[in-house]
Amino acid sequence: MTGFGVRLLGAVRESGPLCAGVDPHPALLAKWGLTDDADGLARFADACLTGFAGSVAVVKPQSAFFERHGAAGIAVLERLLAGFAQSSTLTLLDAKRGDIGSTMDGYADAYLRVGAPLGADALTLSPYLGFGALEPAFSAAREAGRGVFVLARTSNPEGAPVQLAESGGVSVAQAMVDAAAARNAGTPDCGDVGVVVGGTHEHGLDLSTLHGPVLVPGLGAQGATPADVVARFAGTTGPVLPVAARSVLAAGPDPVALRDAARTLADALASAHAGSR
């Protein structure tokens, strides 16, 4: 089975590195003229599927906005993931799961194992019960050809006291990057274990040995520009995936307008890369 890292490289070569967020929060549903229920959620998901499938490398549905609608919302999420699976666009489910023992096994079964009911191409994970506690997720993802993205240095200010705390002269965030790099070591192309590093500030991390992807939230409405992303992640060994949600989704509900907004931002990223050479 082709691993996630290799498939991601192919998707980025075809469509550019932009990751489009799929965040159906209540205010956006209202802005689109949709009801804040499972029916409105389904209409939102259908528009995103039509607009983004085959036109962006990766989409990132935020699980919380589907979960808030209960079983009916989870059903919409399942259909959305299945729809994108029929296209060249990869799915990264943003659920930030992380636990220990049999509970982590349960999350791996739900999201990462072969045939997982909520299986996306990749899943975000929280390592703050210990990086090693995520082993069931790593094992399940490897067997199923999926990827994972481990939180390292997030952009929210509340994360800084934990993520920048040091042990042995190394920050917790850098330790997460180094642990991910160790799992990717020896991979000939791109490893399947990525990290999440916010793009709205200088991160201060050494990403030169990661040999895996970096998910970079913050492009667009949160303040980071394409030039910021290019400058802050220069020297990273692996694809850098800037995430834009609100700035792209503001073009909805017309799927063609969504596609055009994503394409415009992807072109701006390409221009920023070209200008940095």
Mean pLDDT, 10 residues at a time, the chain of 277 residues: 94 96 97 98 98 98 98 98 98 98 98 97 97 98 98 93 94 97 93 96 93 93 86 90 96 98 94 78
Question: Is 171 among the domain residues?
Answer: yes
Catalytic residue among 60, 69, 96, 183: 96
Question: Is 221 among the domain residues?
Answer: yes
Question: Is 277 among the domain residues?
Answer: no
Question: Is 20 among the domain residues?
Answer: yes
Please state, as a whole number, how many other Cβ atoms lie within 10 Å of the Cβ of residue 88.
15
Question: Is 276 among the domain residues?
Answer: no
What type of residue sits at position 248?
V
Number of structural domains found in the chain: 1
Establish whether 96 is a catalytic residue: yes
Q: pTM value?
A: 0.96
For residue 133, what is the domain's CATH number? Answer: 3.20.20.70
CA-to-CA distance for 149 and 138, rounded, in angstroms? 10
What residue numbers bound the domain in which 74 lies?
4-271
Query: Burial letters for 265-274: b for 16+ Cβ neighbours within 10 Å, e otherwise?
Result: bbebbeebbe
Question: Is 165 among the domain residues?
Answer: yes
Only one residue has tokens 């659920």, namely 95
232 neighbors 223 (Cβ within 8 angstroms): no
Question: Is 146 among the domain residues?
Answer: yes
Question: Is 72 among the domain residues?
Answer: yes
